[in-house]
Amino acid sequence: MRLAHKRNVQRKLKKTFKATKVATEKTVVAVKPKAEKAVAKVKTVAAKVEKVATAAIDAAVEATQDVKLTPKQQSVLDIVAANAPGISPKNIGLAAGQEDAKAAAWATGGLKKLLEENLVVKEQAEGNKVIYKLA
């Protein structure tokens, strides 16, 4: 490749970079107020979710006062209580810090007793998927 041609190509590339820099700086200034409003909304929603989660955990603790649970069963119950819409056994195991391959089997062992004591409800989702919710 000729040296002059190479120089021309590099010069054209530099022109496009300069044009995009100016455009992004203008959009950042325009987006800041909208972003601040969105952050405020997210904070209020997070506070509401936290209140609901703590209420669900408190209800789960009250329900387990009569039943003797192992530490594993108690941790599974806490994870299910924190996820009000429902959670799968694999996600329960992952939330407890288990490996990806062993997560579902680990959680199933703890869920058996919780199902017998009617602390957790098992719901059939689409296909063969199962979701557990707090009773």
- Predicted model pTM: 0.51
Domain 57-134: CATH architecture, name and number where available: Orthogonal Bundle (1.10)
Q: Please work out, in degrees rounded to the nearest 5, the angle formed at the alpha carbon of residue 53 by the alpha carbons of 98 and 96.
A: 5
Smallest CA-to-CA distance from 90 within 129, 32, 135 is with 129
State pLDDT tens for residues 56-92: 777 666 655 566 788 888 889 889 988 888 899 999 9
Mean pLDDT across the stretch 36-46?
A: 79
| pLDDT > 60? residue 17 | no
pLDDT at 23: 52
Place of tokens 């199933």: 108
Domain ranges in the chain are 57-134
